[in-house]
Amino acid sequence: MENKSNKLSEDILKEIEELGNDHIMTSIATPLRDDAFELSDAEKIERIQEYFEKIMHTLGLDLTDDSLKGTPKRVAKLYVNELFKGLNEKNKPSMSTFENKYQYRQMLVEKNITLYSNCEHHFLPIVGKAHVAYIPKDKVIGLSKMNRIVDYYARRPQVQERLALQILNEMQRSLGTEDVAVYIDAEHMCVSSRGASDQSSSTVTVEFGGQFNEETTKKEFLTYINDKLK
């Protein structure tokens, strides 16, 4: 019984160590080289196609098969044009704001924003929901812009902690206020399909700015995002 308990403890420590190594975040900014955009999108697609073809060949797949021969190019286009398009600032949505003519001063919450991203440690999907809120001052922003900014920062290899911070910082910069909150609840395929193989867990990251650090405002925000229509 004691040996079984020791083995369990060792397994738990191993998982904790692995999780820690997997979730190193060196900065809020996504780590990019200085020459990250010297190649055009078309050139990147061509190179990734070649590299991915070699990966498939190494795995022993028959690239002459009708089902597989187009896969390298499909993957390359997927990487550049869809999954990781948020790496390039040219794809950043316009964050145009409007004068707060209504003088609305209460909390505005955009909840249940669908989020698709990819873990930067294993390039496996992160799928979940983001909830973003702010308290307007002189400026307000269109509701769809909040969804778009979540999607923009999600469309890059990510760490969920960094993703929450990037969304928060962009909202604060655009609106000229610290009063922003971001809550992300997501499932990580690198947890559910490998390693721990835990298919029931999700990861929550929360970032509060300005008034949202006050207990009353924080509680109000959390109440809103957990409220279900009856």
Q: How far is CA 27 from the centre of its chain?
A: 15
**Catalytic one of 170, 188, 207, 211:** 188
Q: Are 224 and 107 a contacting pair, CB within 8 Å?
A: yes
**Catalytic one of 49, 53, 110, 119:** 119
Q: Are 156 and 219 a contacting pair, CB within 8 Å?
A: no
Cα–Cα distance for residue pair 92/149, rounded to 1 Å: 8
**Catalytic one of 15, 23, 46, 121:** 121
Q: Are 149 and 191 a contacting pair, CB within 8 Å?
A: no
Q: Are 170 and 141 a contacting pair, CB within 8 Å?
A: no
Based on the residue annotation, tell me whether 23 is a catalytic residue of this protein. no
What secondary structure letter does DSSP report for 228?
-
Q: Are 142 and 194 a contacting pair, CB within 8 Å?
A: no
Based on the residue annotation, tell me whether 190 is a catalytic residue of this protein. yes
Based on the residue annotation, tell me whether 122 is a catalytic residue of this protein. yes
**Catalytic one of 53, 190, 207, 211:** 190
What positions carry a catalytic annotation? 119-122, 160, 188, 190
